[in-house]
Amino acid sequence: MVTQPQNDGPASGGSISYSKVVDLSWPIHHGIPQWPGDPGVEFETVASIEKGGYFLRRFSMGEHSGTHLSAPSSFHPGAPGHNEFSPQDLVRPAIVIGVGAQAEADRDYALTMNDVLDWESDHGPVPQGCVALLNTGWQARWSNPPDYLGGTSADQLHFPGFGLDAARLLLEGRNVAGFGTDTAGVEPGADTRFSVSRLALEKRRIVLENLTNLELLPPTGALLVIGLLRLEGGSGGPASVTALAP
């Protein structure tokens, strides 16, 4: 089983109060932004109402397509697949750190330790066991895949993300349950070593990518509910992520 930090919120049996429900996942269709080299999204009709009395399609895509959760096994041999996340792992309080202005000025922007400390000066300590979400404003580029990815080859991508020092502070100093972002990777696209993903997944934490609607969430107080397509032994998989916001 994947181990996660403990928290005292609804994920461990507390009460839930919210005023709105926010969908943080993108619909899956042909033509969505795809990591260079990943298999494309394909749909094929295998039954129609006219011929068979019902409508049915088959689909195929990479495990890390669209809004998805990465598994420790995607970078660490012998580590658990994403089916090992328990239901308790997947209900987590969330904070949102906004860096839209910085990302607009520098599409390779990496969240800094000072950004985290500035967030805490405004909103209080980062809660233990939460998922730290990075709102870069990148969802506005989703319909233009080359702009969203910032390149066409895996070694020449440009989008913002968590800096490694900030990630270490959040994981080791604040004991967060993981990271999420509205870009194609939790680290900046120029980080070809996937340093933040490797660090978080080595610690068996949550990594969510290609989120949307983060601007609809408050800096603190939302609750994430992460629904998975349980692919046995998967390196990750599509996720339906919902936020319950105060």
- Backbone φ and ψ of 108, nearest 5°: -100, 20
The predicted structure's pLDDT at residue 1: 45
pLDDT per residue as tens digits for the range 69-113: 999 999 998 888 888 889 999 999 999 999 999 999 999 999 999
Note the pLDDT of residue 10. Answer: 58
pLDDT tens by residue, 197-208:
999 999 999 999
Is there a contact between 46 and 197 (Cβ–Cβ < 8 Å)?
A: no
Residue pair 227/240 in contact (Cβ under 8 Å)? The answer is yes
Contact between 241 and 224 under an 8 Å Cβ cutoff? The reply is yes
Closest listed residue to residue 221, CA positions, set 94, 36, 50: 94
For the chain, the residue count is 246
Long-range own/partner contacts, residues 217-220 (CB < 8 A, 24 or more apart): 217/22, 217/94, 217/96, 217/133, 217/135, 217/243, 217/245, 218/96, 218/245, 218/246, 219/95, 219/96, 219/97, 219/98, 219/119, 219/122, 219/123, 220/93, 220/95, 220/96, 220/123, 220/124, 220/127
Section 224-232 average pLDDT: 93
Which DSSP letter does residue 83 get? G
Q: pTM (2 decimals)? A: 0.94
Q: Please tell me whether residue 198 adopts helix, strand or coil conformation.
A: helix
Which two tokens mark 177? 């349950």
The whole-chain average pLDDT of the chain stands at 94
- Structural domains in the chain, sorted by start: 10-33+64-245 (3.50.30.50)
Q: Where are the alpha helices (DSSP H) in the chain?
A: 49-52, 100-105, 113-123, 145-149, 164-168, 195-202
Question: How far, in Å, are 32, 120, 153 from residue 165 at the CA level?
Answer: 31, 16, 26
Contacts of 42 (CB under 8 A, 6+ apart): 30, 59, 60, 61
> Contact at 8 Å (CB) between 10 and 129?
no
